[in-house]
Amino acid sequence: MKIVVLDGNTTNPGDIGWGELHSLGECIMHDHSKNTDVIERAKGAEIILTNKTVIGKDAFKALPDLKFISVLATGYNVVDVDSANEAGVYVSNVPTYGTNSVAQMAFAHILEFTQHVGHHSETVKEGRWAKSRDFCYWDFTMTELSGMTIGIVGFGRIGQSTAKIALGFGMNVIAYDAFIKQSPMPEVKMVDMESLFKTSDFVSLHCNLTAENKGFINKEMFSKMKKTAFLVNTSRGPLINEPDLVEALNSEVIAGAGLDVLTVEPPSADNLLYKAKNCQITPHISWATTAARKRLVAITIGNIKAYIAGKPINIVNKPKR
């Protein structure tokens, strides 16, 4: 059995290993692959592993031996699922590996807004503390989270993990989810979307991207938020209308935004968000803790073993058989 990894470097740049993967078949590793490399590199493969390399319609036509695609992520939009169904190819994902890590990143952004650790560390290194007349100084308002309100949009596993951290800080937690009406956590109140945006000091996005919610965080939604409120997005970039966000930040309609995801990744060199007021951007790394990536590899190997055993798991499509 031939197994081809198209873009293994992001998941494992060499620090965590691939576990039992090489024992499951002839395994060919590529650190990076262009979308145009897929057909040539995957010839004769029964199993393909991909993170962000696109497997499109043409690949399914050109790769008759392909039977199983294991996506090294939760999102699987890089695979043409309709074509996979027609070709009878299973597509699996890894749904739960990064729950705590993503919630942690949401709070990394929140804490940077409230404490400004990075800024003050740099000023100390520049010599300001050594020259200070007082024993301390601060350049921004320092904010205590206890008693503030966080609104969580999308209250699945990651949203609930984020809520647990917020409760630990003594925050009031409200949530909106299109599919959850009764809160699974007694300390969290489910509210409608408008109420959440109007009353939250922090709005944290943890929802899937669909055709219906693409760009729904827009000028209208920003106008509902407090001028002192912050937006945090560790879920999917296209949930936010980025030009509207730039306008909201520069016009001080909201206080700031912390983004781990953008609409286009990697972004262009002239993305307007770089120069927007009080906008923190990290390069889609909320999932990338060592612990999370180890779980990702372990679950992926489990997916492949289950397929080999004839009992595939974590399947996201309905292949014709």
Catalytic residues: 236, 265, 284
The structure tokens listed for 290 are: 């060592």
Tokens of 106: 């949401």
**Dist CA 109 CA 28 (whole Å):** 38
SS3 47: strand
Phi (first) and psi of residue 174, to 5 degrees: -125, 160
Cα 29 from Cα 147, distance rounded (Å): 50
Q: How far apart are CA 128 and CA 151, in angstroms?
A: 37
> How many angstroms separate the CA atoms of 196 and 191, rounded?
6
State the helix-helix crossing angle for 290-308 and 99-115, rounded to 10 degrees.
160
HEC sequence for 79-120? ECHHHHHHHCCEEECCCCCCHHHHHHHHHHHHHHHHHCHHHH
Q: Give the amino acid at 56.
A: G
Neighbours of 162 (CB within 10 A): 29
Say how far apart CA 173 and CA 164 lie, in whole Å: 9
Q: How far apart are CA 66 and CA 44, in angstroms?
A: 7
